[in-house]
Structure 1
Amino acid sequence: MIKRFKCDLSPELTTCLKLSDKDRSDCCRIQDPIPNDGECFMKDIGNELSKLYRRHERMFVKRRRIMEMALPIRRRCRYVPKCPCQFSKNIEIVRADQPSYTRTEQLALPTVRRLLNRRQLAISTGDTIGESILNRLLRYSYLSLYSRLMNIQPLKKPVKKKKTTKRQKARQNKFFAKMAVPKVVPKPPKLERQAKEISPGRLKKLSRPKRYMEEVKPQWELTETMRQYKPTKRIKIMAKHHDRENVHINESPEKVAPNALTYKPSARIKEMSQPLTMHEANTVPVDIKENPFAIAPNALKYKASSRMKELAEPKEFENTHIRENPFAISPAALKAKATPRLIELAKPKGG
């Protein structure tokens, strides 16, 4: 049996203060004792506490080890009543549902959506006390200034939707089947170009400058690791020069193949091996010609046309650069009047 303190508010012991507890030796005497009819409220408080204990028991898994560990090692009084003489100011009782008028108090009220969500949770868990508190807060939030400005309305019972008839379902299915068919994408029309017309997109693409990436080779340097490098045996073998025979050099170039010596050319090959003779001038080389300035016989027989004769005659051009009277003055220059600026410029310098 666990020993309980007088201040331990539990279902077995409803209250910690009784009428006989008005005399306290550790502090001053209580001037206003608990009235005789004050114990009538203790029963209601005990009932509320018993409800809380029952809720607490339902919320946790009852295991023997957990319940043993939940008991405190050093049990102390949960609430020690203090004497009012220790406070310098008077104790004022403030109502819990005091109306709020200031802007700060109005803005400090919780949002209606959050309260409705918490209220729904309290109803589902069977928390009547929490539901009553949330109802009070909801009343304040609904009647606040900012909720009225936002036109927040209380929740309404949702209207049940009517069941669709067979005719409506058939109509819906017909509409869904129509909408499920994919649309045919129209083909873009072909561009009609006129003769010698160039595509503007092609011109724009060709007008863009080409980008050339300049390859910057780093300057070669003989590093310290390269100086101290020691090649392996395999690298030394691969670094040796191989002497190979040059198959492209013929040691005896004057040697003729035996097939070429015994070959007999045909009449056609002999004919093709002779040089072409177009006319008598090509039969003899230029260096051996008797008269290199001789005129070709075809040129002597050629008859010139009238147009060729006209073009062959020299033309006389009038020389426009030489004047007949170079000292003549034009009539416009004689009629011209000199401006003051011209007169000033005509004066000799340093005069």
Structure 2
Amino acid sequence: MTTCQQLKDSVRPDCCRISDPIPSDAECFERDISKELEKLKRRHERMFVKRRRLMEMAVPRVLVSRFVPKCPCPFTKSIEMVYPCQAQSYTRTEQLALPTVRRLLYRRRVAILAGDEIGESILNRWLRYSYMSLYSRLANSQPLTKPKKKKKKTEKQLAKHDKYIAKLATPKVPPKPPKPERKAGEVDKARLKTLSSPRAYVEEVKPKWELTPDMKNFKASRRLKMIAAHIQRDNVHINETPEKVSPNALRYKPSARIKEMSEPLKTRDANQGLADVKENPFSISPNALKYKASSRIKELAEPKEFENTHIRENPFAISPAALKAKASPRLIELAKPKGG
């Protein structure tokens, strides 16, 4: 037996019960508490089936223990029982049988989260054994250490960190893919696809005009009335003080050319027909009768002689390739008359 920490009240044996005195303020509740405890005791007794055979089998065969029972009350510290299977071993098989430190640390973390103090103490003992084992020392398994507190960053370091975060926050612009090289006469497929796709026209739907109550009660401002008034301009075409006509203009006589230009142009009237139609449209001009055609005109006037390739010299002659040809099954099938 080895002694370690002080004995807790939760693990104190039944022989060493500590009964705290009831305070004077709570003596009035003693009667009610005793009644509740009596009810709980009766309920507990009714939960078990008391049979004679079961009670006989519940009695242990060997009533005398191997060890002399000794009350641990005289000891000032709690007693931790170390069984032979839990003692530190030195053989290779026993060293390998110890669980790994990593697994024990994980189970210890789970026990701490679950609030299992007994399991935590057992795992702490196993950790001590595992840390001191040969294979843990070979693996250089270090015991648990408290995490170091991080130092606060200076203003210069914080500014540098913020600048770095801002740099990372800016999105990267992907590089544009290079244009594919096209040979002479080759068509750009992407451009052709873009041009072939129809345009999306958005139809402009004009809302229906309605005379709203606000428009009925609207009163134009002074500025609107001033803008709406039309501008009055001076009439430059009317000369209130006309000048005298010169005597030369009164005695002027137009020439023949001016009279010719003053006449209106001859236009075609749909009802009367063409105004400048000749009397004999089929008459030949004397210059055309005296005209002599040039050699080039004569050459162009002669019709071209085209060779007729469809007419053969011997239409009944059969080519040697046709004589050697063999009809395919498909031709034989097509040569048969329909419905035959």
Query: TM-score if structure 2 supplies the norm length?
Result: 0.31
TM-score by length of 1: 0.31
Higher relative contact order (CA 8 A, sep 6+): 2
